[in-house]
Amino acid sequence: MRSGAGKTTTLRMLLGLVRPTSGEAVIWGKPYPELGKRRSRVGAVLEASRFHPGRTVASHLRIRCAARGVGRSRIGAVLEETGMSELAGRRAGGLSLGERQRLGLAGALLGDPEVLILDEPANGLDPAGVLWLRGFLRRLGEQGRTVLVSSHILAEVAQFADRAVVMDRGRLVSAGPVTELVNAAGQAVTVRSPRADALRAALAGEGATVRASGPDRLDVTGLGTEEVATLAAALGIPIFEISAEAGSLEQAFLRLTATEGRPG
């Protein structure tokens, strides 16, 4: 999902922070404000920066416990689960963005939630942190929890998600198992040519989805290598390189939203 697609707004509607102009957003069949005590079974992180800079990590979590009616006995468990135990005495103002992301996750886990809603949780994490997050989300899913994650980093989403919802400019474009979306994307062809613009126009005319990935390089879906090469030969367009690989979630997104030529 691209920036501006409506990801955060959708999550805010689920949590009762934004009123939908039509339709309804429900969890377990009810709007979030009507869940009563079960609201404590929904954890969420929409922003990683809303912490009082003078409070320590532990004191922030104690306040969250009091606000949600959760026993403080959960604090040690969530600190350990998010790798924050050694930072319990650190003031929030001195945390890095990645550490604030983890603190947000720790707070969301205090109620031992059945449903966890996360908006761009990988923001600010270094490669090791992203790898940790991937395993963390998988473990939550394996425990039987429902984890809803918004992200525009599709290659990363494909590493841990079971199902994907594709949104574009406020519209629901597709929803289903990640494997089905990837398989539907078909083979992705990369071709390099000194006349890339002419080849790009010809391929688009044949119904292919084409994205320029360099001054002379195109990424093509919707046509196979033989079809691309045959079309280029018929038009007298030289090809320096052509290769194919299995489809990806990114290619599926490009096909579903027809994003070629539109700004991100």
Tens digits of residue pLDDT in 112-134: 999 999 998 888 788 888 888 99
Topology, domain 7-161? Rossmann fold (3.40.50)
Domain with CATH 3.30.70.270 in the chain: 183-257
CATH class of 183-257: alpha beta
- Is 183 a residue whose pLDDT tops 50? yes
- DSSP of the chain: --TTSSHHHHHHHHTTSS--SSS---BTTB-GGG-GGGGGGEEEES-S--S-TTSBHHHHHHHHHHHHT--TTHHHHHHHHTT-GGGTTSBGGG--HHHHHHHHHHHHTTT--SEEEEESTTTT--HHHHHHHHHHHHHHHHTT-EEEEE-S-HHHHHHH-SEEEEEETTEEEEEEEHHHHHHHH--EEEEE-TTHHHHHHHHHHTT-EEEEEETTEEEEESS-HHHHHHHHHHTT---SEEEEE---HHHHHHHHHT-TTS--
Instruction: Work out the percent of the chain whose per-residue pLDDT is above 70.
Output: 91
Q: What is the mean pLDDT of residues 204-228?
A: 90
pLDDT of residue 21: 87
pLDDT of residue 260: 43
pLDDT of residue 48: 61
Q: What is the mean pLDDT of residues 230-248?
A: 89
- Is 71 a residue whose pLDDT tops 70? yes
- Is 185 a residue whose pLDDT tops 90? no
